[in-house]
Structure 1
Amino acid sequence: MKRLSSLLAALLLTVLAAPCATQAASRPTNDDTILVKLPNKATMTLVTKNKAQLKELRTYHLDSLMILLDSYISQADAASKNADNKAVTMEFYPAKDHPGTNAPEEVRITVRAEDTQAGTGKTTTKVGRYITVSVDDDEKDANDNDDINITIGGKNKGGSDSLRAEKSRRKRQEYANKVVHSNVNLDLGLNTLINRSPWKDASGVDQDFDLKPTGSRYVSLNYLYEIRVGGKASPLHLIMGPELSFNNYMFDKNRRLFATDTRTDILREPTLSLEKSKLSVTTLNLPVLANLNFKDKKGHSMFSLSAGGYAGYRLSSHTKIKYESEGNTRKDKDRSSYNLEDFQYGLQGGIGVRGIDLFVKYGLNDLFKDNRGPQGQTVSFGISI
């Protein structure tokens, strides 16, 4: 690269210091074209809109410009080694990085390692609206010549821009090399109560109740750590981290909660026609899961399976009813413990296929404290985003 940069500097200095050595070539419409053939068989083409553009080049400090090009070409060359023989384009903006220094507006470098064994490559450099440098470098050339084309004022006709693809590939590689990853995801689903035991109210009458399936929603926000167990190719991971969950239980058939300090009943509302009646519980959980995640060659998840458990603590709970009264819609919201179990624990699992992840949670203890409310265990299920 040092030999290449020195040659570029010599070519640019030749253009500015010795314009008399030029000869006219084909002239595009409304453009002035100058063709320079140097003794080492290198050819340099200058395309300018007018003479004023050529004079403006005198304001560039070529030493500083070549230092920039040498640094940028080295970075592009290093990136091309991981590009699987595809073109890599990198863009730099010296004028923005160093305002007030009369630096070039833009430097775009394209490197294509066509044959790593033969040592061939191509570099295209665009500096602002004025300078485009294209270099074909073949280390196996018998004459040890570099084909160099410099265009001033022309358009960059380099290879396709694969910078985004290269960045994506490098991110996946960095992700695969890490032992610990952190992820934020959202769980959306539904709640239900299973294994419910008969419950009698204070007068000894059996009281059964139903939940509205679509209204009994589950939402949780999770910040999870994924720890790889084994080598880089191991699909086994340990997943854990805090989880803030919101369980909603929507009651059907005009029922609502009635609670005292020692007892909670879910009874029919005797005087009101309820449009909505629900219990909401907010808990902070800590899940611990073993996860198998199988990926394709590009690092994308194809199939995953996880299983484990969770434990949590109730942070708050409230009830909310909605009804009509005297022609107006009323909403009553009350906060209380409602004799709910403060500590919750259970089993948790999930399955994923090509980015679609489903989960299920099964509470091992009852929602209400023993003999203080209807007995039943919570099951939550849905999709992870």
Structure 2
Amino acid sequence: MKKVILAMTALLLLMHPERGRASTGDTVVIELNNKSKILVYTEDRVALKDLEQYDLNKMIKDLNSALRSSKIEKIELQDDNGKKYLKDTTIIFGEGSSAKTKIKIGNMELLVDADEWEDLDDEWDDDLPVRKYHYEEESIDRTRHYFNIDFGLNNWMEGNSFPDENNAPYAVKPWGSWYFGLNSVNRTWVTGPLFLDWGMGVSWYNWKMQEAATLIEKGDTRIEFNAPPASYSSIKSKLSAPYLNVTMVPMLDFAKGRRKVKNLERGSINFRTYKKQGIRFGAGGYAGYRLGGSTKYVYTENNKREKDKNSGNYYLTNFRYGIRAQVGYKGLDLFAMYDLNEVFASDRGPAGSQGMNAITFGITL
């Protein structure tokens, strides 16, 4: 909790630089080609002239050589005689074991390189500049980890049709039957434009009945969709089921993981937003284990609003598995999923049904 508060304070400090004094520092961006830039920040012109003492070419060569080895926490560059370029020359690369606070959600990242509240508190009054710059990031990590959110609509199908085509009592209302998923995802580069998205997450199915006047009940042998008492004025009826999932989707990313980065930096605080480049698509599979189940029925009786919520398995299958397709272009990602097994256990679905499979589609944030 302390680190979350620290991160939120950092974001406020970053977004309100007027709390600090104006800076007279200079920033120079040197564009070498369409893929490389050197950004130099100095407090004044005199400090910029001092950079002439550094052998930048040798630094870059040694850095490239070091990056080809295993993951590095710190590189202290040395010249051919075993001496540092200058007494204070140290390049820090990667996270290593330092106590940085990093929060990543979707295409946003907040990084705070401060250990204590007092460190950030001091920066409110320090003479620190706010730097804004853009650059294109190459996909150099073998595996990159991030969090995302799936948000969309779900329904269920009988064979090749939806139940509402036959006015079935278990027909689902397309708008309002929400699907929501929280995912921890890894993207591993395989070769060329081929990547593998894999990870775990928690998701919720919410099937809202087309006809609000529907009582969802667990019968002796199967789930039942019954009419409520005549005195009820029905408002809403739905069935929900959460699942713990694992997912594996091979992806073709023709931009090879490149992203455009917008960076906002002040002191020990760094806030970045990423925008993916090019087109990408893939298809793979998933499997999930049910964590629970519940129904909600909202109605009025005698001008009094009532809400009945009940928990149970409702003959929902314990395991789900299916296929997932993803497609994206620049900052937009879409997904679709289809369960290959039925929503309810064998011969436990509603009377008259011919097997019901969940289908979902939406956007990934």
How would you bin the TM-score normalised by the shorter chain?
A: 0.5 to 0.7
Pair 1:325 & 2:301 matched:
yes
The correspondence of residues 372-383 of structure 1 with structure 2, limited to 5 A, is: 372-374=348-350, 375-383=355-363
Pair 1:270 & 2:229 matched:
yes
Given residue 378 of structure 1, which amino acid in structure 2 is its aligned partner? A
Q: Any idea what the Cα deviations from partners look like across 1:34-87, whole Å, max 9, x if unmatched?
A: xxxxxxxxxxxxxxxxxxxxxxxxxxxxxxxxxxxxxxx9xx99x969787977
Change (3 A) 1:197 1:342: farther
Q: Any idea what the Cα deviations from partners look like across 1:322-373, whole Å, max 9, x if unmatched?
A: 1112221111110000011010000100111122111000000111111112
Alpha-carbon contact 1:197-1:376 (below 8 Å) kept: no
Given residue 359 of structure 1, which amino acid in structure 2 is its aligned partner? F
Pair 1:181 & 2:144 matched:
yes
> Percent identity at matched positions?
29
| Counterpart position of 2:155 | 192
Distance 1:86 1:216 in 2: 48
Given residue 372 of structure 1, which amino acid in structure 2 is its aligned partner? R
Q: Any idea what the Cα deviations from partners look like across 1:227-274, whole Å, max 9, x if unmatched?
A: 0002xxx21101110121111000122112121353211122233221
Q: Any idea what the Cα deviations from partners look like across 1:95-124, whole Å, max 9, x if unmatched?
A: xxxxxxxxxxx899558x9xxxxx9xxxxx
Structure 2 length normalisation: TM-score?
A: 0.57
Alpha-carbon contact 2:321-2:339 (below 8 Å) kept: yes
Instruction: State how many pairs are aligned.
Output: 236
Change (3 A) 1:178 1:365: same
Change (3 A) 1:322 1:162: closer
Aligned counterpart for 1:279 among listed residues 229, 232, 239: 239
| Counterpart position of 1:244 | 202
Given residue 235 of structure 1, which amino acid in structure 2 is its aligned partner? P
Change (3 A) 1:298 1:273: closer
Change (3 A) 1:108 1:239: farther
Pair 1:370 & 2:321 matched:
no
The correspondence of residues 207-226 of structure 1 with structure 2, limited to 5 A, is: 208-226=169-187
Unaligned runs of 5+ in 2: 1-25, 52-56, 58-128, 162-166, 261-275
Pair 1:165 & 2:133 matched:
yes
Q: CA RMSD in A?
A: 3.6
Change (3 A) 1:316 1:184: same
Distance 1:86 1:190 in 2: 43
Distance 1:298 1:219 in 2: 26
Given residue 190 of structure 2, which amino acid in structure 1 is its aligned partner? V
The correspondence of residues 87-102 of structure 1 with structure 2, limited to 5 A, is: 88-91=39-42
Unaligned runs of 5+ in 1: 1-72, 93-105, 114-118, 120-160, 199-205
Structure number, greater radius of gyration: 1
Q: Which has the higher contact order (CA 8 A, sep 6+)?
A: 2
Q: Alpha-carbon deviation of 1:165?
A: 2.9
Distance 1:283 1:329 in 2: 31
Given residue 249 of structure 1, which amino acid in structure 2 is its aligned partner? W
